[in-house]
């Protein structure tokens, strides 16, 4: 390289360095008094990229002075304001997700249920129609009916369950007359009609008879369909009842009536308030008859997880349209298990004991009722439930608005 060319190259290099130094000086001046570089500027031939400490924000006295953590991914950036949180929210509740459980009796007045503040046995021609109208106005158009059978109509074999003029059947016909597009779920089980307080017929030695009970459950389901039910819901936990009920409905001319099976119904301590509402708890045995004090020979053991998958596979094969987990809150893992192993819709029952706990804590000022209820319902939905049976259906629908 000639001397003149070398001089020219040197001048160009010096000009680049001078320009770089000028740019660096300008950038330093622009942030003077706001922040200081924490490392020496990294230079290139054309640009300077200084690292700066964040702009100082007011913080409480005693806050430690630290260098920023070096981490490319900060998840909190996606939670920093309400707009982003709403945009990234993965789980959403709607009134269409709720099924309202209602208790009815053969009278006119509302009868408060002591263990469930705010919930009543409703007159089937009075309070029920009022509550259904209120629920529909808030977007809840599904309910499940539980009748309080008078004691004098209860028998060990529970034939009142399929009485065409029984309280449940009269209620379904009235609801369909008043609200033709209302979606009615039923309860298929013998305990509201059984003088022994069990979901099935009790043999004298204390055994809950499976196949004989299923025969009566089929008659009950058909009678409910004849009265206008849209979906029958066997909660009894007898083996084989879903397939038998499906066959009975089809044979009776009701192929479009659905089945929501209580697939994973656990022998839970959270059912107490419900049994008070219907007076359906097991009774004590008498001379010559053994009455089991609990329902553990047919409802699932709370310790078991895999057993629910076995029940789910059977119910799906037998023709269930929806599969339920009951209770919901203590069995979120089971809801997720069913969600991940079937394409059928999943429902979950936030049962009476869950309602009573939330209500009691809220009444004592221990919880914000709205926040706690909505969080519990959201967690059930997040676990995989498409439908949620909840005594808070009307309130939750209102809060969503």
Annotated catalytic residues are 265, 326
Cα dihedral sign for 33, 35, 36, 42?
negative
Question: Among candidates 268, 218, 256, 254, which has minimal Cα distance to 238?
Answer: 218
Tokens representing residue 83 in the block: 């707009």
Do residues 143 and 100 make contact, with C-beta atoms less than 8 angstroms apart? yes
188 SS3 class: strand
Task: Looking at 96-202, list the stretches that DSSP marks H as alpha helix, in order from N- to C-terminal side.
Answer: 127-137, 167-178
Residue 239 class from Cβ within 10 Å (0-12 exposed, 13-18 middle, 19+ buried)? Answer: middle
- Indicate left, alpha or beta for 324 from its phi (over 0: left) and psi (-120 to 50: alpha): beta
C-alpha 68/C-alpha 79 separation (Å) is 19
Structure tokens at 148: 């309080």
- Cα 79-85-87 angle, rounded to 5 deg: 135
């Amino acid at each position: 390289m000639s001397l003149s060319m070398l001089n020219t190259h040197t001048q160009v290099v010096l000009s680049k360095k001078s320009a770089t130094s000028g740019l660096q000086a300008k950038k330093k001046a622009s942030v003077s008094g706001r922040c200081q570089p924490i490392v020496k500027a990294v230079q290139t031939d054309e640009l300077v990229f200084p690292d700066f400490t964040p702009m100082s924000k007011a913080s409480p006295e005693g806050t430690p002075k630290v260098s920023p953590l070096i981490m490319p991914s900060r998840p909190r950036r996606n939670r920093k304001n309400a707009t982003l949180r709403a945009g990234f929210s993965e789980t959403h509740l709607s009134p269409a997700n709720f099924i309202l459980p209602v208790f009815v009796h053969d009278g006119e007045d509302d009868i408060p249920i002591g263990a469930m503040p705010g919930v009543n046995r409703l007159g089937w021609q009075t309070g029920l129609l009022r509550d259904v109208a209120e629920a529909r106005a808030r977007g809840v158009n599904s309910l499940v009916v539980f009748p309080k059978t008078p004691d004098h109509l209860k028998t060990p074999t529970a034939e009142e369950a399929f009485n065409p003029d029984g309280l449940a059947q009269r209620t379904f016909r009235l609801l369909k007359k008043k609200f033709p597009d209302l979606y009615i779920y039923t309860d298929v089980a013998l305990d509201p009609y059984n003088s022994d307080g069990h979901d099935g017929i009790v043999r004298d030695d204390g055994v809950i008879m499976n196949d004989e009970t299923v025969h009566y459950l089929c008659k009950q389901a058909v009678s409910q369909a004849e009265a206008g039910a849209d979906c029958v819901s066997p909660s009894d936990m007898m083996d084989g009842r879903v397939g038998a009920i499906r066959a009975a409905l089809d044979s009776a001319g009701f192929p479009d009536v659905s089945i929501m099976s209580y697939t994973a119904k656990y022998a839970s301590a959270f059912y107490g308030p419900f049994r008070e509402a219907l007076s359906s708890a097991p009774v004590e045995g008498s001379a010559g008859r053994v009455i089991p004090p609990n329902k553990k020979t047919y409802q699932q053991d709370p310790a078991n997880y895999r057993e629910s998958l076995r029940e789910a596979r059977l119910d799906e094969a037998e023709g269930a349209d929806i599969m339920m987990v009951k209770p919901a809150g203590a069995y979120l893992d089971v809801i997720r298990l069913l969600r991940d192993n079937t394409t059928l819709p999943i429902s979950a029952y936030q049962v009476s004991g869950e309602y009573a706990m939330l209500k009691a804590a809220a009444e004592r000022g221990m919880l914000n009722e709205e926040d706690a209820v909505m969080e519990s319902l959201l967690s059930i939905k997040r676990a995989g439930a498409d439908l949620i049976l909840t005594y808070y259906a009307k309130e939750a629908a209102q809060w969503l608005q």
